[in-house]
Amino acid sequence: MEEQQTIMYAPQWNNMTVDNVVFQSNNEVGNFNYPPNVPAYKSIMKFLLNCPLNKAFTNCPSVVYQNFLREFWSTIVAFDPFPSTDEPEKCPLKEFFIKFSVLNGQRPLTLDFKTFCSTTGLEYNNGKYVAHPALDVVKKELGKISINLIYLDKTLVLKNSFPVAWRILFTFVILVLGGNYSSNEQVNSIQQLLAFSLITRTEVDIGEIIYSNLVTKLLNKSKLKYVSYPRFISFTLQVLLGSDYTQDKKFGFLPPIMSNSNFTKDPSKVIVIELMVHMIAVKNWMDSVSPPPLALKPKKGKSQTVTPTLPKSQGPEASGALSKKIKKHKSKKPPTKTKVTPPKPTEGSEQSHSVSSGTVPDP
């Protein structure tokens, strides 16, 4: 970015500039592949693939541009659009607006809660949500799947308090939905609430939780060098900017995908878990769907939106429809189920199995 003098930096960041904004791995794209020799992962992975947050797990821009994120994070300010001294209570954080600028200050933009949730896939229940349960209620429910109850008494719960197969759900909450840089092995109170809502089908407003967390970070007067929720923010920028969401390729990179190293590859260490009743129903909703392609090469001057949304007219039978559309395959014949042939591992990589690649025999 050459004309940095035109950028109006956010006052709360003190001496921050676009040059000292730092990127670390968080808010990654969900990875639904698991080791083929560990079938105990199958049930929980099918649940995560079919759950209402699937879109939030996988929505991502075709390219993440560091310069856009740097300028966004350097100029971003959260504010109450309708401040009032008469109200005894503070404005809910979800009602705050976020203003910022990009393109060297030439494009001032404003982001609100509704836009953030609709673009990221965090709006999953048409605005119909329940109040957040108390922390003791959350911990009591998590205790039903815990193998180490003593750790539930702590504010930060260790992932090893749960069976290995359950830990992957917490990994999704921490790495895929998260915007923090804390340990991947600890589950904070917000992450416990998100896991609770998935496990119990308690329809809390997860979008509000994440947006409010972002606003809280912005209202903090301490200097924050790390960009929070880079995947969600990049996808929102792509929607807001449209055709202007493009820069020199050297500033862009593909959205990071959750590493396969998060799966335990020793089948003796991963026992089969029993899902909650509603989780079984969600798991069985689709026997086969195709995950979105995650490594598409963007066309020059254009951006692509990668989402796992299935055609409404076809419903659950539309497995593979997205991948066929991307390949511009125009066959009108209905998709046929095929047996899964696990891909041969390439040099330096390990074989993995996808819960969404055709019909998988039950373990």
Q: Give the pLDDT score at 297.
A: 42
Q: Is it the case that residue 313 has pLDDT exceeding 60?
A: no
Domains of the chain, residue spans: 4-286
230-241 and 113-120 helices, crossing angle to 10°: 100
111 strand-pairing partners: 98
Residues 6+ apart with CB under 8 A from 330: none
Residues in the chain: 363
Asked if residue 313 lies in contact with residue 321, where contact means CB atoms within 8 angstroms, the answer is: no
% of residues, the chain, pLDDT over 90: 51
pLDDT of residue 326: 36
CB 232 within 8 A of CB 120: yes
Q: What per-residue confidence (pLDDT) applies to 232?
A: 95
- pLDDT for 17 beyond 70: no
Supply 122's token pair. 């965090």
Provide the pLDDT for residue 347: 41
**Kind of pairing between the strands at 60-61 and 305-306:** antiparallel
Contact 133, 196 (CB under 8 A): yes
Higher pLDDT, 200 or 353: 200
pLDDT tens for each residue of 88-145 = 567 899 999 999 999 988 899 999 999 999 999 999 999 999 999 999 999 999 999 9
Give residue 51's identity as a one-letter amino acid code.
C
Confidence at residue 312, expressed as pLDDT on a 0 to 100 scale = 36
Q: Which of 355, 329, 361 is nearest to 35 (CA)?
A: 355
**Segment 29-41 mean pLDDT:** 95
CA angle 115, 119, 123 (to 5 degrees): 80
Q: Give pTM, 2 decimals.
A: 0.75
Question: Would you tell me the crossing angle of helices 135-142 and 189-200 to the nearest 10 degrees?
Answer: 60
Contacts (Cβ under 8 Å, ≥6 apart) of 174: 180, 182, 184, 187, 191
% of the chain surpassing 70 pLDDT: 71
Which tokens belong to 216? 């809280």
Residue pair 140/157 in contact (Cβ under 8 Å)? The answer is no
